[in-house]
């Protein structure tokens, strides 16, 4: 761990407001899968954050649903679902990670660091979920809840974006109203392991610049790309 990264981890720990009984959990949560890539057979590599990300995704879903139920007692299921989706998608997790300053604290391979991994939405979002899992395992649900309520506070107070429930349908309807061909989606990248991949998908509408977005599945990435395109065109 370099001095700069050590300082970033210390600052992050302070912002989290939790003293880890097992600091290795936080270190694992901040370790990108690229750290182990390219290691020789039999070489010992530090555990990456993919298993913690798996758990953190579920912890985040519970915390978000719980908070929405409490904050919006009159909201119906449709409104709650729209808000939930906006809180747990990759861009939301990345924004929360930026709020906490997770980027500088990430443990990356030299190549990933040089290519901008500390600012990459996928890396930030995955690490944010892994950090929530580390907090849950080390301090219980309350430790994770306090960080969630703080890091997601602005997003929790914002109105749910329109068309977020089915952005692909909204994008399709917009294209049809303009007598344009249906939107197209193309996988432009895939990273991570087979059990926890991250897809990058490009969404395109004829006559408009395409946009790319990431997701844990092809479907999630397509939805994220459609949402990004709708936002750029001022439709949501």
The Cα 68–Cα 159 span in angstroms is 12
Query: Where does 3-157 sit in CATH, by number?
Result: 1.10.1520.10
pLDDT given at position 192: 74
Contacts of 210 (CB under 8 A, 6+ apart): 202, 203, 204, 229
Structure tokens at 183: 């939107």
Q: Decide if 199 contacts 224 (C-beta within 8 A).
A: no
pTM over 0.75: no
Q: How far is CA 50 from CA 22, 91, 204, in A?
A: 18, 18, 30
The dihedral sign for the CA sequence 39, 218, 209, 188: positive
Q: What is the pLDDT along the chain (236 residues), one digit of tens a residue?
A: 458 899 999 999 999 999 999 999 999 999 999 887 755 555 677 899 999 999 999 999 999 999 999 999 988 887 788 788 889 988 899 999 999 999 999 999 888 888 888 998 889 999 999 999 999 999 999 999 999 999 999 999 887 655 556 789 889 999 999 999 999 999 999 987 777 788 999 999 999 999 999 888 898 889 889 988 998 888 87
Domain range summary for the chain, segments of one domain joined by +:
3-157, 167-232
pLDDT given at position 151: 97
b (16+ CB within 10 A) / e for 135-156: bbbbbeeebbbbbbeebbeebb
Query: Where does 167-232 sit in CATH, by number?
Result: 3.30.160.20
The catalytic site residues sit at: 57, 129
pLDDT given at position 164: 59
Reported as type and span, the H/E element at residue 174 is helix 167-177
pLDDT given at position 35: 87
Q: Angle 90-100/218-232 helices, nearest 10 degrees? A: 80
pLDDT given at position 194: 74
The Cα 31–Cα 200 span in angstroms is 21
């Amino acid at each position: 761990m370099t001095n700069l990264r050590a300082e970033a981890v210390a600052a992050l720990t302070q912002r989290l407001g939790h003293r880890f009984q097992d600091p290795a959990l936080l270190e694992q949560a901040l370790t990108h899968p690229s750290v182990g890539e390219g290691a020789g057979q039999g070489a010992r590599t530090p555990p990456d954050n993919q298993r913690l990300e798996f758990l953190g995704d579920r912890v985040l879903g519970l915390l978000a649903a719980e908070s929405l139920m409490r904050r919006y007692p009159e909201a119906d299921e449709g409104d709650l679902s729209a808000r939930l989706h906006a809180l747990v998608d990759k861009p939301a997790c990345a924004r929360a990670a930026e709020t906490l300053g997770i980027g500088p604290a990430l443990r990356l391979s030299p190549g990933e660091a040089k290519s901008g991994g500390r600012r990459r939405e996928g890396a930030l979002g995955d690490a944010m979920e892994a950090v929530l899992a580390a907090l849950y395992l080390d301090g219980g649900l309350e430790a994770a809840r306090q960080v969630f309520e703080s890091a997601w506070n602005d997003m929790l107070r914002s109105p749910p974006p329109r068309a977020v429930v089915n952005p692909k349908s909204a994008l399709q309807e917009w294209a049809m109203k303009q007598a344009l061909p249906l939107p197209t989606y193309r996988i432009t990248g895939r990273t991570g392991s087979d059990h926890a991949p991250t897809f990058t998908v490009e969404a395109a509408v004829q006559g408009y610049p395409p946009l790319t977005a990431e997701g844990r599945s092809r479907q999630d990435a397509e939805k994220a790309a459609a949402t990004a395109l709708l936002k750029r065109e001022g439709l949501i």
